[in-house]
Structure 1
Amino acid sequence: MEYFIGTLLTTIFIYISLINLICLKFDKKELLAVILLTQLIGLPFYIKLRFLSIIPINIIAMIFLYKKYRNVIISIIVPLASTLISVLGDYILSYIKIYVLKINPDPGYLGSYMYTVSVVSDFLIIFMISKLIGRLINRKVKIFSIDFKIKFGFLIVMSFLLTLIIFYANIILGNDNGFSNEVIELNGLLFFVYFTLLMSIMYILVMIITKELKIKNRQSQFESLQEYTIKLEALYMDMRTFRHDYINILSSMGGYIESKDIDGLSVFFNNNIMPLSKGIESNNFRIGLLKNIKLPEVKGIMSSKIISAQELGIDVFIDIMEPIEKINMDIIDLCRSLGILIDNAIEAALNCRQPSLKIAFINKNNSVLISIINSYSEDLPPIYKIFQKGFSTKGENRGLGLSNLKKIIENHNNVILDTFIEDDEFIQNIEISLT
């Protein structure tokens, strides 16, 4: 029973720290199944040598995170950091017992009052440390959205792994030779300083990578706005040309009217006026409707995608009747989501004889609804399949867009994605609550 409880507590402490570090919600049944599996595999290691139980616990946690988020570096770092936090929490508790409460750091026998207090205290310390670190790291960007370069990722993983080996080698040696209060105090101080330094370096790296990501995003938005501006300038020149010529066009019609040549007027109208009206109603002029989007980042990505669709010969319809001044979603995640949805809509529409793309922004009472509608071919795969990672009708090494979109949506509790087919159109609605 003692071994079972020991393995279970070690697993729970590490997973509590892990959950707080990544600041993401897990399915309770899925998490419970992983913990039970960890308990089953980790128990024999704990019986042999209790410190060895962290090996299967960490490996299972790494596999679990990788299967869920597909980020190798973060999937390795987070369990190692969680284990280090658990070790640090245990030493902090021992230090408090010895130098603040002046009591024996031994938690006592299983089931005793002191054992229960020690477990609860350990849990609270680990929870608070991991929660604080998690909030600091995830304050500006979700940790699983960080893309470490290979060399940086390797250095961080090796630093965490080496730190963990040093910590546990020290603990095992001390356990064999007996811990004195002085040794516990010295180890606790060294562990705390080393851990703080390691977390500080990790935090600085995350901030640097986040800053680089924002700079790249701003550059992309700037390029999109430049493209939007160029298109508007071309539209303005077209309007000036038309304004300059329309009096002459009307005057040319006057001759037919005076001579009452209705047949000639009809031919002239069909051959000259109708093509001109179609040009005025073309997609190039519809982009002006983006004026109602008051968010420059969103306007930039929308204009860029719409211009691309127009150049590919897709009939684009835009419906933004009211000013869109606020959308309650991280702007980078919002732009990524719109980019993925419109790119997929364009790709699907191109397979049709009459490709079309419709985009609408609608203000509702407590939310903003963004609807992206496209024509599609008859061989469209089932909707449940298109959100699976790696699924694509275009071959290998594709199909990441919609699976990434699903992850983005899952990170926002106020965002709902609804996908369905209606009247021979593929419709994707994103509704973003204002609260």
Structure 2
Amino acid sequence: MISRWIFDSIGTYASMPILLMVMLYAWRRTRSLSESFLIGLQVGIWSIVIDHVSDLIVYALKFDGGYLLTFASLQLLSLVILNVILMNTHVKSTFNRPSLNRVTGVLLLVIYLYIIVSEGLNDELRLVVSNLVVLLVVIGLAVALYDEYRITIRAKYQVQQQQAQIKNDTRYMNEIEVHYNELRNFRHDYQNMMLSISEYLKTDDLTGLQEYYQKNIAPVTKRVADEQYNLEDLSRVKVKSVKSILFNKLNYAQSQGIKVHFELRQVLERVATNELDLDIALGIILDNAVEAVVGNYHGEITSAIFQTAHSTVFLIQNNLFEQLPPLWQLKEVGYSTKGTNRGLGLNRLGTIVNRNENMILETRVLENRFVQRLTVAREEV
């Protein structure tokens, strides 16, 4: 009875300083007022639920003097269970959209204040039970709404992924058609060159043949050598969306006079992450690499995919022709070395990587090269 009397004397209002401390801690971790406010209210309301359950247990078991022990035990046990759920599932305590966090926070605040005021007027067991029922109903509705929201977002994301896949496949087919036409033209030109050479040989005109070679064949040979496709290893990429984004970006870089290298020794059958996010991330990295070297005579982009027992690593690097600011500044929204309104890539790249738990991005400047290493952890078998 002493523990129950102490809690009643202090009142439910004593939870407010604790609530503020939780909000302050959450704000230090998230740097978001809406998220920290929502997390604090969730903790406060959950503590009230545990308080009511403890009251019922003590009353039912007639466990006089055991309120604080019951409350502390249930609170600790529930926090451990919730932490395990949050760590091992994709469930989050907040929404990605700040507006939803604000609306949910206001609703939870109304419920929290209602409980505090009502319990301040009356502390009968019947009121405790009714408040507990209201809380459980509200929690059930919140879980159902969150689940519906998650399903809707997942469906929307899948549609976006399918659309991106179709778009990538279309671009890939268009590029294949372009190169097929180039091959046909080259075959036609090759046949014409052979006919011309045969005429010189029939007439034993070696001087004319030498002039013809220096004027017509040698330049073509040099052009083919300079523009040769170093993308043969792309045939080992079996993930269509990844192959498409790599082929399109690297092929475009070649068309801009940039030296391109790609290496993959083992067949890449699959990636253990969201393909759409991976495609967007690779696209941003390659776009930035092309933008950094285009227009420079010695521009070069080197890319590779390495596979280990536990991860798949995408390595992309380009040479630098100017002094870069600190890396943290490159990741700020709106900042770009190429002018205003062009600095969204690296910031968006960071957002994509952060929302995928099995993605790690490493960015370095090594001498005169800008290196980005995107690691995708493989699923545990």
Taking the aligned partners of 2:228 and 2:72, their CA distance within structure 1 comes to: 67
Taking the aligned partners of 2:107 and 2:276, their CA distance within structure 1 comes to: 35
Give the superposition deviation at 1:325.
Answer: 1.3
Question: In structure 2, what is the equivalent of residue 264 of structure 1?
Answer: 208
Taking the aligned partners of 1:266 and 1:80, their CA distance within structure 2 comes to: 86
Give the superposition deviation at 1:229.
Answer: 1.0
Q: Deviation digits for residues 62-118 of structure 1, max 9, x if unmatched?
A: 633543xx7x7656544443443333333334334434x4435x755xxxxxx3443
Give the superposition deviation at 1:278.
Answer: 5.5
Question: In structure 1, what is the equivalent of residue 317 of structure 2?
Answer: 373
Taking the aligned partners of 2:149 and 2:110, their CA distance within structure 1 comes to: 22
Indicate if the aligned counterparts of 1:224 and 1:300 stay in contact, CA closer than 8 A. yes
Indicate if the aligned counterparts of 1:356 and 1:374 stay in contact, CA closer than 8 A. yes
Report the residue type matching 1:343 in the other structure.
D
Taking the aligned partners of 2:11 and 2:135, their CA distance within structure 1 comes to: 26
Question: In structure 2, what is the equivalent of residue 429 of structure 1?
Answer: 373
Taking the aligned partners of 1:400 and 1:51, their CA distance within structure 2 comes to: 42
Question: In structure 2, what is the equivalent of residue 348 of structure 1?
Answer: 292
Give the superposition deviation at 1:222.
Answer: 1.9
TM-score (norm 2): 0.80
Question: In structure 1, what is the equivalent of residue 52 of structure 2?
Answer: 91
Query: In the alignment, does 2:24 pair up with 1:60?
Result: yes
**Structure 2 residue aligned with 1:81, among 38, 42, 47?**
42
Alignment of 1:75-154 (within 5 A): 77-99=38-60, 101-103=61-63, 108=67, 115-129=68-82, 131-132=84-85, 138=90, 147-148=96-97, 154=99
Indicate if the aligned counterparts of 1:388 and 1:403 stay in contact, CA closer than 8 A. yes
Q: Structure 1 residues 62, 122: CA separation in 2 closer, same or farther (over 3 Å shift)? A: closer
Give the superposition deviation at 1:320.
Answer: 2.8
**Structure 1 residue aligned with 2:170, among 213, 226, 230?**
226
Report the residue type matching 1:91 in the other structure.
H
Question: In structure 2, what is the equivalent of residue 273 of structure 1?
Answer: 217
Q: Which runs of 4+ in 1 moved over 6 A?
A: none
State the SS of the aligned residue for 1:428.
strand
Give the superposition deviation at 1:226.
Answer: 0.8
Q: Deviation digits for residues 297-346 of structure 1, max 9, x if unmatched?
A: 21232234334434544333322343211333443442233122212212
Query: How many equivalent pairs are there?
Result: 371
Is 330-339 or 232-241 further displaced after alignment?
330-339
State the SS of the aligned residue for 2:269.
coil
Report the residue type matching 1:368 in the other structure.
T
Q: Structure 1 residues 373, 219: CA separation in 2 closer, same or farther (over 3 Å shift)? A: same
Is there any run of 5+ residues in structure 1 with no aligned partner, and where? 1-5, 7-45, 109-114
Q: Structure 1 residues 124, 147: CA separation in 2 closer, same or farther (over 3 Å shift)? A: closer
Q: Deviation digits for residues 336-394 of structure 1, max 9, x if unmatched?
A: 33122212212211363433222212334554332212122132224454345654324
Indicate if the aligned counterparts of 2:293 and 2:300 stay in contact, CA closer than 8 A. yes
Give the superposition deviation at 1:50.
Answer: 1.7
The CA RMSD measured in Å over matched residues stands at 3.7
Q: Structure 1 residues 143, 103: CA separation in 2 closer, same or farther (over 3 Å shift)? A: closer
Give the superposition deviation at 1:241.
Answer: 3.3
Taking the aligned partners of 1:429 and 1:325, their CA distance within structure 2 comes to: 20
Indicate if the aligned counterparts of 1:232 and 1:288 stay in contact, CA closer than 8 A. no
**Structure 2 residue aligned with 1:173, among 114, 118, 125?**
118
Indicate if the aligned counterparts of 1:283 and 1:316 stay in contact, CA closer than 8 A. no
Query: In the alignment, does 2:161 pair up with 1:161?
Result: no
Question: In structure 1, what is the equivalent of residue 346 of structure 2?
Answer: 402
Report the residue type matching 1:56 in the other structure.
L
Question: In structure 1, what is the equivalent of residue 184 of structure 2?
Answer: 240
Report the residue type matching 2:56 in the other structure.
Y
Indicate if the aligned counterparts of 1:82 and 1:130 stay in contact, CA closer than 8 A. no
Give the superposition deviation at 1:171.
Answer: 2.5
Taking the aligned partners of 1:85 and 1:348, their CA distance within structure 2 comes to: 52
Give the superposition deviation at 1:164.
Answer: 2.8
Give the superposition deviation at 1:286.
Answer: 4.9
Taking the aligned partners of 1:48 and 1:95, their CA distance within structure 2 comes to: 17
Give the superposition deviation at 1:228.
Answer: 1.1
Indicate if the aligned counterparts of 2:164 and 2:276 stay in contact, CA closer than 8 A. no
Give the superposition deviation at 1:404.
Answer: 4.4
Indicate if the aligned counterparts of 1:93 and 1:122 stay in contact, CA closer than 8 A. no
Indicate if the aligned counterparts of 2:238 and 2:267 stay in contact, CA closer than 8 A. yes
Taking the aligned partners of 1:282 and 1:226, their CA distance within structure 2 comes to: 28
TM-score (norm 1): 0.71
Question: In structure 1, what is the equivalent of residue 275 of structure 2?
Answer: 331
Q: Structure 1 residues 219, 308: CA separation in 2 closer, same or farther (over 3 Å shift)? A: farther
State the SS of the aligned residue for 1:324.
coil
Taking the aligned partners of 1:47 and 1:396, their CA distance within structure 2 comes to: 56
Report the residue type matching 2:47 in the other structure.
S
Give the superposition deviation at 1:250.
Answer: 1.7
Report the residue type matching 1:154 in the other structure.
S
State the SS of the aligned residue for 1:316.
strand
**Structure 1 residue aligned with 2:160, among 216, 227, 237?**
216
